[in-house]
C-alpha cells in the first residue's frame, strides 16, 4: 500500500488512495501516567485530536509539534507518521515532504528513521512539490503557505531548480490579530479559534469579570485587512527575489497552496502582487493537495511494484482458502 503523507506544523494530512484524506492536528503529547485509568490502559504518547484535548486538561505534559520554525523535530515527526500509517492500515511505501531548506542531515535522519520504525520504503520530497504534481504540472512555481513557514519551490520538467523556506506563516497573522483582540476586548483566543473566526465566521467568547465577552468576524476585519496586506507584501517580495532571472516559460502559472491560501484576502492579494509576472492559481483543496500529490507521484514511480505485490498476496490468499476448503470437505467425507 502507498501512503501520501503531508506532516505540517499545524495539521497532518494522509491518503492511501489519492482521494480520501485524513486530517488531524500535528500534535504529540508525552505525559506522565494518570492516577486513574477508566479504559484499562496507560498511555504516555497522545497524537492528534486526543493530544490537543490532553494538552489543555492535563498537567506535567510535554507538547511537541513535528516541525518548528522550519526545523524537523525528529521523534515527534516519527510518532505522527506512525499514527497516520496505523489509521490507514499500514504502508509499504510512504511519500512525504519536508521544508525545502531542511538540511541533508535532517532529511537522512527522517528517511532512515521512518524506514526503520515503519518497515517501509520512503520517498522524500520538498513539501510544495505535492501540489504541483496534484495539479499535473511538471514545470512551475509553488508557494505553500503553512502555519509556521512558507515554502517555495521552482521545478522544470520535474527537476528541482531552486527553493526557499521562510519563517513566515499564518501564525504571524494570527499573533498580530490576537494582540489586537487582547487590547480591544481583553481576552486571548487560540489559533484554532482564530481559524474558526476567520474561515467559518464563528464567534469566539470568554467569561471575564462575570461577563460574557464575544468577538465576531466583523469586529476584527479592519485590523485583519491591514495585517494581511503587510504580510503578503513581505512574502511576495521574497518570492519575487527567488524568481528573478527565470524564464517566463517556467513561471507561466504560479501555484498558491496550503491552508494559508484559504484565509480571507490572501489569494486575492497574491493575485494583485503577481499580476505583472504570472497567473496565480490554486488547487481545489489547498489543505490536502500536497498529500494527494505525494501519493500520485509514488504511484507513478512505484505503483506497478505495489500492484504486483497486491496481486501476489491475493493469489496466495486464494490458494490458502481453496486448500482449507478442500481439507474441510475431506474431513466431512471421513
Q: CB-based contacts of 231: which residues, under 8 Å, 6+ apart?
A: 168, 172, 173, 176
Q: Which residues of 268-282 are buried (b: 16+ CB within 10 A; e: fewer)?
A: ebbbebbeebbebeb
Lookup: cell for 228:
494581511
What pLDDT shows up at residue 306? 47
- Assess contact for 257 and 266: CB atoms under 8 A: no
- CA-to-CA dists, residue 227 to 32, 234, 273, 286, angstroms: 40, 11, 16, 22
18: how many CB neighbours lie within 10 A of its CB? 17
Exposure string over 214-250, b if 16+ CB within 10 A, otherwise e: ebebebbeebbeebbeebbeebbeebeebbeeeeeeb
pLDDT tens for 167-196 read 999 999 999 999 999 999 999 988 888 999
Examine the pLDDT at 330 and tell me if it is beyond 70.
Answer: no
User: At 70, is the pLDDT very low, low, confident or very high (cuts 50, 70, 90)?
Assistant: confident
* Cα separation values, 102 from 25, 49, 73, 152, Å: 21, 27, 11, 13
Angle 283-285-232 from CA coordinates, rounded to 5°: 65
Q: For 216, list phi and psi in degrees, rounded to 5.
A: -110, 160
Residue 89 near residue 54 (C-beta atoms within 8 A): no
Given this model, what pLDDT does residue 121 score? 94
Phi, psi of 240 (to 5 degrees): -60, -35
Q: pLDDT higher for 309 or 250? A: 250
What average pLDDT score do residues 64-83 get?
Answer: 85
Q: Give tens-digit pLDDT for 80-98.
A: 999 999 999 999 999 999 9
Cα angle value 6/168/107 (rounded, 5°): 40
Q: What is the pLDDT of residue 251?
A: 93
Residue 326's pLDDT band (cuts 50, 70, 90): confident
Q: What is the pLDDT of residue 71?
A: 80
What does the pLDDT read at residue 283?
96
- Predicted structure pTM score: 0.83
| Gap between the terminal Cα atoms of the chain | 42
Greatest CA separation for the chain: 86
Per the prediction, the chain carries an average pLDDT of 88
The most confident of 27-36, 97-106, 257-266, by mean pLDDT: 257-266
Cα 139 to Cα 160: distance, rounded to the nearest angstrom: 9
pLDDT recorded at residue 312: 54
Write out pLDDT tens, residues 26-56. 988 886 655 545 555 556 788 888 887 777 6
Amino acid at each position: 500500500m502507498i501512503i501520501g503523507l503531508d506532516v505540517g506544523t499545524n495539521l497532518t494530512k494522509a491518503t492511501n488512495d489519492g482521494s480520501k484524506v485524513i486530517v488531524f492536528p500535528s500534535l504529540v503529547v508525552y505525559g506522565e501516567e494518570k492516577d486513574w485509568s477508566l479504559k484499562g490502559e496507560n498511555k504516555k504518547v497522545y497524537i492528534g485530536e486526543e493530544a490537543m484535548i490532553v494538552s489543555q486538561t492535563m498537567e506535567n505534559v510535554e507538547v511537541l509539534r513535528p516541525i518548528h520554525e522550519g526545523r524537523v523535530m525528529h521523534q515527534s515527526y516519527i510518532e505522527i507518521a506512525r499514527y497516520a500509517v496505523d489509521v490507514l492500515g499500514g504502508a509499504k511505501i510512504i511519500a512525504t515532504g519536508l521544508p525545502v531548506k531542511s538540511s541533508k542531515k535532517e532529511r537522512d535522519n527522517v528517511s532512515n528513521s521512518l524506514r526503520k520504525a515503519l518497515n517501509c520504503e520512503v520517498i522524500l520530497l520538498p513539501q510544495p512539490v505535492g501540489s504541483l504534481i496534484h495539479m499535473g504540472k511538471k514545470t512551475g512555481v509553488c508557494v505553500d503557505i503553512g502555519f509556521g513557514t512558507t515554502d517555495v519551490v521552482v521545478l522544470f520538467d520535474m527537476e528541482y531548480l531552486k527553493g526557499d523556506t521562510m519563517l513566515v506563516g499564518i501564525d504571524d497573522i494570527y499573533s498580530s490579530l490576537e494582540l489586537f483582540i487582547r487590547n480591544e476586548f481583553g481576552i486571548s483566543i487560540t489559533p484554532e479559534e482564530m481559524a474558526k473566526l476567520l474561515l467559518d465566521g464563528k464567534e469566539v467568547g470568554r467569561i471575564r469579570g462575570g461577563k460574557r465577552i464575544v468577538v465576531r468576524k466583523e469586529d476584527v476585519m479592519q485590523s485583519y485587512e491591514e495585517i494581511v496586506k503587510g504580510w503578503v507584501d513581505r512574502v511576495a517580495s521574497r518570492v519575487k527575489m527567488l524568481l528573478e532571472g527565470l524564464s517566463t516559460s517556467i513561471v507561466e502559472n504560479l501555484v498558491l497552496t496550503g491552508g494559508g491560501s484559504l484565509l480571507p484576502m490572501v489569494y486575492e492579494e497574491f493575485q494583485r502582487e503577481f499580476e505583472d509576472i504570472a497567473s496565480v492559481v490554486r488547487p481545489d483543496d489547498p489543505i490536502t493537495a500536497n498529500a494527494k500529490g505525494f501519493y500520485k507521484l509514488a504511484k507513478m514511480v512505484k505503483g506497478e511494484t505495489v500492484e504486483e505485490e497486491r496481486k501476489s498476496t491475493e493469489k496466495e490468499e486464494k490458494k490458502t482458502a481453496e486448500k482449507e476448503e478442500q481439507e474441510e470437505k475431506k474431513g466431512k467425507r471421513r
